[in-house]
A and B are shown apart, each in its own frame.
Chain A
Amino acid sequence: MASPTTAKEGRQLSPFVSKSAAFTSSVLRTLGSILITMIGLLFITFLIGRVMPIDPVIAVLGERASKSAYDAMFIEMGLDKPLLVQFFYYLWDVAHGDFGISRLTARPVIDDVMRVFPATLELATLGTFIGVFIGVPLGVLAAVKRGTIIDQIIRVIALVGYSMPIFWLGLVGLLVFYGLLDWVGGPGRLGIFYVDLVPTVTGLILVDSALDGQWDVFRDAISHIVLPASLLGYYSLAYISRMTRSLMLEQLSAEYITTARVKGLSEWTVIWRHAFGNIKVPLITVIALSYAGLLEGSVLTEIIFSWPGIGSYITTALLSADMAAVLGGTVVVGLVFVCLNIFSDLLYKVFDPRAK
């Protein structure tokens, strides 16, 4: 058998003739897995919807409905059918984007959710940015200076970050930076003078106002988002710095780091090109999970800052017993969560040379 002289020939001669075939089948399996998880998710929300003490028929018709109207609606809503069949109707609806009508806004839940989601997205994205650009270097620093006072300080900062009730920190932040110091804008995404001045393109005010060239709106939006985003950013950096530190420590005690030093490389190169280079891929997973965590954290933060995102939407719906809206919102957040998890898994498979 001739020795392969190019990588391509080598691949063709290898026993696993088509590595790409194995890759495709693993992608398909992952997609199948996502589907099952999502259906399971929907099943749970569906069950929650059926457990509620509120009679769904009365929720629609009101308490004074006559018996015949009640019976008619009962059948029309499919409540006479077995639970599993109801679930399939539910799945069918969801697949078509129909999450029902919100009792509060009298609009389709899906429309409401799409309207409020960008606000949360803006917050979570900015928060994650802060978390990554501050958290990662801090984590690397803590790992490199392990055991020193710098390491202790960074770990305490992180520790405080995830021991803090985020809604409380938000209140304190508002109190100090808005109430006392007046450095930032107050609750809400924009001051009243600036609302509705910018055409909605993406729903992300920062992007839309920049696109439209309205820089005063942009500045106002920044002053309003900086506090809640910093809050979420702090939360995020607590987690990210801890994970980065732990990943770096694992790498720094590896043999190949000694090899790099033996070559005569500067410590900076050893840390960033070699050690950090090896954690880039798991770090992606960490960041994706952190982003998901921020989506969750934004629920309470949005209430404090009167931020009209999906967290506010769900909690307002909750307090008004608007089950369709609560479930719709929960499902959407859950789906995004699942997608983020799967996305990070996929990135792992694509970028880690050992997985190829």
Chain B
Amino acid sequence: MNSLESSSESQPQSLREWLLSEAPTSRRQARMGSFYQGWLALKSNNLTMIGLGILLFLLFVALFAPVLAPADPFAQNLSNRLQPPGSEGHLLGTDSLGRDILSRLIYGSRITLYIVTLVALIAPVLGLFVGTVAGYLGGWVDSILMRITDIFLAFPRLVLALAFVAALGAGIENAVIAISLTAWPPYARIARAETLTIRRADYISAVQLQGAGPLRIISKHIWPLCISSLIVRVALDMAGIILAAAGLGFLGLGAQPPSPEWGAMISEGRKFLLDFWWVATIPGLAIFMVSLGFNLLGDGLRDVLDPKDSGDA
């Protein structure tokens, strides 16, 4: 059925009217309508849009890095080392090995995006699984899983990540695993809380009576409802994840040299801080901007999706 033509008015509705219609005629229309309304609410918050803009910019830069970067991020030129920003051909200057900082910054965005995406996939999924299983099955399964979650939560995140990387060895994948292992507990808690609320609903009993097994119930009925809280939490967490990844990079435990990871770049520039400040300062600004972007977006998403938690107008 083509909803665009089925309206009772003689003229075809505009897309906007169709989306905002008070009486949607198909499930697709209803769903898209609610997305659109959510988007309108999000759009009204200027700060959130700035955050979204920053993140889209990051995505753009990462995707088109080879086109945007003026130079090869790995190309060393020792005769040209430690040039200040604004020098010939190097908008942001060069580092201690003569490499163009702007290009390294641009390629570094790929690493940042890589880490963020991986952690954003692993940690919430793991947390969702643990939380919903614990919440749904209850009993001793719940107690044990929650005890494990509490134990992981009891650790200071960075310290635990350090310990993991110490055990597993340095490297970007290990850093991702270490961060994910410290990041999943809050998602488990959220998922469990949501599951406990949903579990008692009548429609769950109805599906059970129809013979659905726990796995089907959890995956088809409970997971979709947890998604919105998780999304908000992911957006808010990402800022912290980036900072943690940068911290690990700074300690030399993340992506290894000569990789242009932003945290590692700060570490490299630290030795020359007082006289050649740009080498350490500029990558930090990039980290700050991306983290800020995630925080702004996360705040805005929370205002739209979980309004009672925001405490805002």
Contact = CB atoms under 8 A, between A and B. Distances in A.
A159 interface: yes
Contact of A300 (B158, B281, B311): B158
B148 interface: yes
A157 B270 CA distance: 26
B247 interface: yes
A163 B239 contact: yes
A165 interface: yes
Given A179-B273, A334-B155, A164 B288 contact: yes
A264 interface: no
Contacts of A48: 163-164, 166-167
A172 B274 CA distance: 10
Nearest to A248: B311
Interface in A249-306: 249-250, 292-293, 295-296, 299-300, 303-304
Interface string A138-170: 000000001100000000000110111111110
A99 B148 CA distance: 23
B154 A334 contact: yes
A341 B288 contact: no
B162 A318 contact: yes
B166 A321 contact: yes
Contacts of A190: none
A235 B156 CA distance: 15
A147 B246 CA distance: 34
Contacts of B291: 163-165
A49 B168 CA distance: 10
A163 B295 contact: yes
Contacts of A329: 159
A323 B166 contact: yes
Interface stretch (A37-45, A59-67, A70-78): A37-45
Given A300-B247, A337-B156, A159 B163 contact: no
Chain B interface extent, by class:
35 or more
B292 interface: yes
Nearest to A164: B288
A318 B248 CA distance: 12
Contacts of A318: 162, 165-166, 251, 253
A37 B151 contact: yes
Contact of B154 (A37, A295, A319): A37
B151 A171 contact: no
A333 B167 contact: no
Given A37-B154, A337-B155, A303 B251 contact: yes
Contacts of A299: 158-159, 162, 247
A43 B168 CA distance: 17
B77 to A, nearest CB: 25
Nearest to A332: B159
Contact of A36 (B147, B152, B156): B147
A312 B155 CA distance: 18
Contacts of B277: 175
Nearest to B277: A175
Given A179-B273, A323-B166, A165 B288 contact: yes
Chain A interface extent, by class:
35 or more
A330 B163 contact: yes
Given A163-B295, A165-B288, A326 B162 contact: yes
A249 B166 contact: no
B160 interface: yes
A57 interface: no
A94 B152 CA distance: 19
Nearest to B250: A167
A240 to B, nearest CB: 15
A318 B254 CA distance: 13
Q: Which of B163, B274, B284, B299 has the most CB of A within 10 A?
A: B163
Given A160-B292, A172-B281, A246-B311, A165 B166 contact: no
B167 A49 contact: yes
5 tightest A-B CB contacts, nearest first? A168-B284, A40-B151, A296-B156, A163-B292, A163-B291
30 contacts: A40-B148, A43-B151, A45-B163, A48-B166, A160-B292, A163-B288, A163-B295, A164-B291, A165-B288, A168-B246, A168-B281, A168-B288, A171-B273, A171-B280, A171-B281, A171-B284, A246-B311, A249-B311, A296-B157, A296-B159, A299-B247, A300-B158, A314-B162, A315-B162, A318-B162, A318-B253, A319-B252, A329-B159, A330-B160, A338-B154
Given A163-B288, A168-B266, 13 more contacts: A37-B150, A37-B154, A40-B148, A51-B168, A52-B166, A53-B168, A168-B284, A175-B274, A179-B273, A296-B158, A299-B162, A303-B251, A338-B154
